[in-house]
């Protein structure tokens, strides 16, 4: 018997259909559809799955977008047009793990467009949602048992806005002081 893996709507394990257990539910003020289109345009293997509209019962205007169900890299999300009552803050963020500087630069450029660059690989997109754009090598380097290397890495990291893989490795390896730049320009 083979094990067929598909996710999320058709993921099967030993013939049983799998449903994603936890789905991030994002509250927007009238921009749920625009946000879903923005996010699905940035990430590969992404799509809008369903749009539900308000009916006669409201509370939104009849026919306007109530929720948008979408996927990013097979992770399901739901965006709600819930009104101005709640705003995003840094207590919740999404981490994008990047293998290369080119990949990191691309996600940084696209997600920060119209938003705000913060610090230490964090940014806020144009909808106010926080993202961490992180090189996968960072976890490996931070896990070092060498406290001196970890300290140099952390000092370099704290000076950066967008993370620079070469600069982080240089600091970790003791190759001189990290550069004084706070932004790494995309080529």
Number of domains in the chain: 2
Residues 28, 127 contacting (CB under 8 angstroms): yes
Is residue 61 included in any domain, yes or no?
yes
Question: What is the rounded average pLDDT for all residues in the chain?
Answer: 88
Q: Check whether residue 122 and residue 151 sit in a common domain.
A: yes
pLDDT in tens, 129-141: 999 999 999 999 9
Question: Which residue(s) pair with 76 in the sheet?
Answer: 71
CB–CB of 84/93 below 8 Å?
no
Q: What is the dihedral of CA 67, 98, 126, 87, to 10 degrees?
A: 60
Decide if pLDDT at 1 tops 60.
Answer: no
In a domain, 179, yes or no: no
Q: Which residue has the higher pLDDT, 4 or 55?
A: 55
* One domain for residues 27 and 62: yes
* Domain of 28, in residue numbers: 21-81
Tokens 């961490």 correspond to: 132
Do 167 and 101 lie in one domain? The reply is yes
Structure tokens at 28: 């927007």
100 lies in the same domain as 160 = yes
Cβ-Cβ contacts under 8 Å for 153 (sequence gap 6 or more): 141, 142, 144, 168, 171, 172
pTM for the complete prediction?
0.82
Where does the pLDDT of residue 175 fall: very low under 50, low under 70, confident under 90, or very high at 90 and above? Answer: confident
Within 8 A by CB and 6+ apart from 54, the residues are 60, 61, 62, 63, 64, 65, 66
Tell me, what CATH number does 125's domain have?
3.10.180.10
Residues 159 and 101 grouped into a single domain: yes
Nearest to 133 by CA among 154, 88, 102: 102
What pLDDT, in 10s, does the model give residues 52-90? 999 999 888 999 999 999 999 999 999 999 999 999 999
CA separation, residue 92 to residues 70, 72, 129, 140 (Å): 19, 17, 8, 23
The Cα 115–Cα 126 span in angstroms is: 4
**Residue 151 and residue 153: Cα distance in Å, rounded?**
5
Q: Is the confidence at residue 177, as pLDDT, over 50?
A: yes
CATH number of the domain enclosing 26: 3.30.720.100
């Amino acid at each position: 018997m083979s094990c067929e893996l598909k996710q999320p709507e058709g993921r099967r394990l030993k013939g049983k259909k799998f449903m994603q257990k936890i789905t991030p539910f994002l509250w927007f003020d009238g921009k749920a559809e625009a946000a879903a289109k923005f996010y699905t345009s940035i990430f590969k293997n992404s799509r809008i799955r369903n749009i539900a509209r308000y009916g006669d019962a409201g509370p939104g205007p009849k026919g306007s977008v109530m929720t948008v169900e979408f996927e990013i890299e097979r992770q399901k999300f739901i965006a709600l047009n819930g009104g101005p009552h709640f705003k995003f803050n840094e207590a919740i963020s999404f981490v994008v793990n990047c293998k290369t500087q080119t990949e990191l630069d691309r996600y940084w450029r696209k997600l920060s467009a119209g938003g705000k660059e913060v610090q230490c690989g964090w940014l806020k997109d144009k909808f106010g949602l926080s993202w961490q754009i992180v090189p996968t090598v960072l976890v490996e380097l931070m896990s070092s048992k060498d406290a001196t290397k970890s300290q140099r890495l952390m000092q370099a990291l704290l000076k950066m806005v967008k993370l620079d893989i070469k600069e982080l490795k240089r600091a970790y390896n003791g190759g001189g002081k990290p550069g004084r730049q706070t932004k790494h320009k995309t080529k």
